[in-house]
């Protein structure tokens, strides 16, 4: 790798293989193709023939195949962009075929369980650097991708002392920076707790309130749709995401999500009690906190 | 009133008095001023001298005063735009001074409790038509108002058989239609249940999750701000609204909100159980419902 991570006018890798060119994977390929700064050669692997055809038609890979082993054999970097639930199985096929010294990375939305699933297949002569680009849309598949998806978004890396060499960590950092992202390192456990509160719990609440509304009597339900503009709509926006991806996330970050939901439920019950007993001060205090967080976000230019 | 409600090329009223020209009240005044179709003369009443000065400087009323009684004495229509918690007290001052045959209306976000608070002051010779324009922003006060706030939004009317004459109901409907809104009639109880699920519960959840995040350890909390783009941000957007208004709404629509929160909490617990026991089908089914609602919203052009 040597100076690849510093010289920013040459591609970072010779060959980059993306397994699962859906929303995330195809966005990496679009970026790689647009700027030419990620790799000289791009290989895409998908088990879905329709998706392989789409990737080929989009012209975002030099080779498109369904066979993992040959596609990873010549790669400097292999990026797993498949759903969290199949990371372990795909890694088990890919890793034995990788060349010594190559880098393995993934984009899974949860880290502890993905690392646990991949760890049994790891080899001492390859570096594995888990990552999670915090960007997405409510769409999926190769047609959903675009080159600027990661622009000004965070990509969290959760390097492991035993398997992530310093050089591999900086290469993966450079990769995401060249995709336009800001990078940050943390432990996998901390990552999963942070994502549980900023992303997984909000999605769980959004899915749930849509279900609650859907269970109401017919007349009320149709009015929910009519009058959704008043707050409910913001929930449905985040509730529109892919069911399989979210099922996988909920199952694979179970402990952190259940902990955050338990804290949240306690807080919601305390709010319910305050409403029942007309405890104005408590209610106003909780609302004020929401506004302060909102204000901090605006200062951070995130809202 | 006679043909006022049909002839749309003359003002609906001679004199319209708006009590509480904040976000909602000043938006009505802006609209009235812009099109000249609501009333020939506009009077604004506020107990806050700074707000009176602002309303005057904005030029959206012909008279601005702190005295309710003279300001309502000559009005054909008096519109209460004060916080829900003071509706009763303001109505008790206004109603005795109103001229026979005049119309009283309000814009409170909850209807059962506002009607209960106003009812004791009602007179048989004035018509009271409760209404709720479903539009708003996270800002408040007269500087937040603008003429197009109600454009293509709903205004829900909850007429009462005993106090809302048909003519008064159509006048208030015309008023909101001339503000650009679509109108719909329903009972106050039904209104409060619908708003509990489409607006009040989403706000309660948004305030609560901001509080839950705020209680986390310092390091995680600062990261919540950094990474908020991933779903959490949509919650803070609706959590930014005025604390006093929301306290009033929570307290005055207590029963419907607690009922919806109880249903929601059951559903969230069922989701938690499904996550704990890895019940994939249940999780996917609940997520699918969210997407269906989202799809219906897009078909309704609300998203
Ligand atoms: N979407 C987001 O917001 C987001 C954000 C950050 C990270 N992520 C993570 O990034 C990963 C990809 O997410 P995505 O949104 O890009 O999903 P996606 O659009 O559904 O793409 C996943 C791709 O992987 C393919 N695939 C699935 N199983 C495979 C297998 N066994 N072998 C080869 N290819 C396979 C899929 O094809 P088939 O559908 O035909 O199986 C699809 O092309 C996930 O781990 C997700 O957690 C997602
Ligand atoms: N904002 C929304 O999203 C929304 C949507 C639909 C309906 N509504 C309802 O519309 C009403 C007004 O809401 P808003 O958002 O316009 O609130 P706002 O911007 O805070 O305006 C309320 C106005 O009423 C004045 N006021 C308060 N108490 C008064 C009193 N006793 N006598 C005279 N004036 C008084 C306030 O002045 P001070 O602040 O100085 O007291 C302020 O000018 C509320 O009932 C609310 O529930 C709001």
What domains, with CATH codes, occur in chain B?
A: 2-186 (3.40.50.720), 190-299 (1.10.3660.10)
- How far, in Å, is the centroid of ligand 1 from the Cα of A105? 14
* B57 Rama sector, left if φ>0, alpha if ψ -120 to 50, beta otherwise: alpha
What pLDDT, on the 0 to 100 scale, is given for residue B7?
A: 53
Q: At what angle do helices B280-299 and A201-214 cross, to 10 degrees?
A: 70
B95 forms beta bridges with none
Average pLDDT of the residues of chain B: 92
How many percent of chain A have pLDDT more than 70? Answer: 96
Q: Which of A22-26, A169-173, A213-217, B294-298 has the lowest mean pLDDT?
A: B294-298
Give the mean pLDDT of A285-299.
83
For the ranges A236-240, A287-291, B170-174, B250-254, which has the lowest average pLDDT? A236-240
Of A36-50, A154-168, A197-211, A268-282, the range with the lowest mean pLDDT is: A197-211
Alpha helices (H) in B22-86, listed in sequence order: 23-35, 49-58, 68-73
Checking if the pLDDT of A229 tops 90, the result is no
Whole-number percent of chain B with pLDDT over 90: 77
Q: Nearest-CA distance from B136 to chain A in Å? A: 8
- The pLDDT > 70 percentage for chain B reads 96
Q: What is the mean pLDDT of residues B114-143?
A: 95
**pLDDT of B168:** 97
pLDDT digits (tens, 9 = 90+) for B10-32: 999 999 999 999 999 999 999 99
Q: Six-digit token pair at B94? A: 């206004």
- Do A229 and B153 count as a contact with CB atoms less than 8 A apart? yes
Residue A7 — very low, low, confident or very high, per pLDDT cuts 50/70/90?
low
Counting ligand 2 atoms within 8 A of each CB, the residue from B45, B51, B82, B157 with the most, and so the one to mutate, is B82
Angle at B103 between CA B98 and CA B108, to 5 degrees: 105
**DSSP element (H, E) containing A34:** helix A23-35
Residue B83 near ligand 2, beta carbon < 6 Å: yes
Structural tokens at position B37: 């179709």
- pLDDT band for B225, please (50, 70, 90 cuts): confident
Q: Does residue B93's CB lie within 6 angstroms of at least one atom of ligand 2?
A: no
Q: What is the pLDDT of residue A8?
A: 61
pLDDT of residue A302: 58
What is the pLDDT at residue A49?
97
E strand residue ranges, A48-185: 63-65, 77-80, 103-106, 127-133, 154-157, 182-185
A111 closest CA partner among A252, A267, A282: A252
CB B36 within 8 A of CB B11: yes
Q: Is the CB of B141 under 6 A from ligand 2?
A: yes
What per-residue confidence (pLDDT) applies to A81?
98
User: B interface mutation test: which of A211, A215, A259 has the most B CBs within 10 A?
Assistant: A211
- What tokens appear for A72 in the block? 């990873």
The ipTM value here is 0.87
What pLDDT score was predicted for residue B64? 98
Q: Determine which of A127-141, B22-36, B52-66 has the lowest per-residue pLDDT on average.
A: A127-141
- Condensed to tens digits (0 to 9), the pLDDT of residues B201-219 reads 999 999 999 889 888 877 7
Q: Cβ contact (<8 Å) for B205 and A207?
A: no
Cβ neighbour number for residue A169 with a 10 Å cutoff: 21
Radius of gyration of chain B (CA): 21
Mutate to test the interface with A, among B231, B232, B235, B237 (most CBs of A within 10 A): B231
- Please tell me the least confidently modeled range out of A98-102, B37-41, B191-195, B292-296: B292-296
Q: Rounded mean pLDDT of A15-31?
A: 98
What is residue A132's predicted lDDT score, i.e. its pLDDT?
A: 97
Mean pLDDT on B241-255: 92
In this structure, what are the phi and psi dihedrals at residue B133, rounded to the nearest 5 degrees? -75, 120
Inter-chain residue contact A243 with B288, CB threshold 8 Å: yes
Q: Which residue has the higher pLDDT, A239 or B72?
A: B72
Residues B207, A289: C-beta atoms closer than 8 Å:
yes
End-to-end, the C-alpha distance of chain B in Å comes to 38
Q: pLDDT category, A136, cuts 50, 70, 90?
A: confident
Look at residue A254 and tell me whether its pLDDT is greater than 50.
Answer: yes
Ligand 2 within 6 A of CB of B145: no
CB contact set of B7 (below 8 Å; sequence gap of 6+): none
**A1 pLDDT exceeds 70?**
no
Residues B144-159 pLDDT 10s: 999 999 999 999 999 9
* Beta strand extents in chain A (DSSP E only): 13-19, 39-45, 63-65, 77-80, 103-106, 127-133, 154-157, 182-185
**Distance from CA of residue A263 to its chain's centroid?**
24
Q: Report the distance separating Cα A25 and Cα A118, nearest Å.
A: 18
pLDDT at B261 over 80: yes
Instruction: Give me A166's structure tokens.
Output: 């310093």
Measure B22 CA to ligand 2 centroid, in angstroms: 5
Q: Which two tokens stand for residue A55?
A: 């990737």
Tell me which residue of A26, A29, A34 sits closest to A82, measured CA to CA.
A26
Provide the greatest CA pair distance for chain A: 67
Distance of CA A161 to the CA centre of its chain: 22
CA angle A111, A116, A120 (to 5 degrees): 140
3-state class (DSSP) for residue B259: helix
pLDDT, tens only, B38-55? 999 999 999 999 999 999
- Residue A236 pLDDT exceeds 90: no
Please, are residues A159 and A130 in contact by the beta-carbon 8 Å criterion?
yes
On chain A, the residues whose CB falls within 8 A of the CB of B263 are 212, 215
């Amino acid at each position: 790798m040597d100076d690849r991570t510093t010289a920013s006018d040459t591609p970072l890798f010779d060959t980059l293989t993306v397994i699962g060119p859906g929303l995330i994977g195809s966005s990496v390929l679009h970026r790689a193709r647009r700027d030419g700064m990620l790799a000289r050669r791009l290989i895409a692997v998908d088990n879905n023939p329709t998706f392989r055809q789409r990737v080929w038609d989009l012209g975002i890979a030099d080779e498109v195949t369904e066979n993992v082993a040959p596609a990873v054999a010549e790669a400097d970097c292999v990026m797993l962009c498949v759903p969290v639930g199949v990371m372990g199985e795909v890694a088990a096929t890919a890793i034995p075929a990788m060349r010594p010294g190559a880098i393995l990375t993934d984009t899974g939305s949860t880290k502890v369980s993905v690392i646990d699933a991949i760890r049994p297949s790891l080899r001492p002569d390859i570096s594995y650097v888990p990552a999670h680009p915090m960007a997405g849309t409510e769409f999926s598949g190769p047609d959903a991708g675009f080159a600027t998806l990661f622009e000004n978004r965070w990509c969290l890396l959760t390097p492991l002392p035993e398997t992530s060499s310093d050089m591999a960590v900086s290469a993966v950092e450079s990769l995401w920076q060249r995709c336009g992202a800001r990078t940050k390192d943390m432990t996998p456990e901390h990552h999963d707790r942070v994502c549980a509160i900023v992303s997984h719990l909000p999605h769980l609440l959004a899915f749930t309130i849509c279900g609650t509304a859907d269970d109401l009597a017919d007349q009320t339900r149709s009015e929910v749709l009519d009058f959704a503009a008043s707050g409910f709509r913001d929930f449905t926006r985040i509730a529109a995401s892919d069911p399989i991806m979210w099922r996988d996330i909920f199952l694979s970050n179970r402990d952190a999500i259940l902990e955050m939901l338990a804290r949240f439920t306690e807080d919601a019950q305390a709010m319910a009690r305050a409403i029942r007993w007309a405890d104005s001060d408590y209610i106003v205090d909780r609302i004020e906190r929401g506004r302060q967080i909102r204000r901090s976000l605006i200062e951070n230019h995130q809202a």
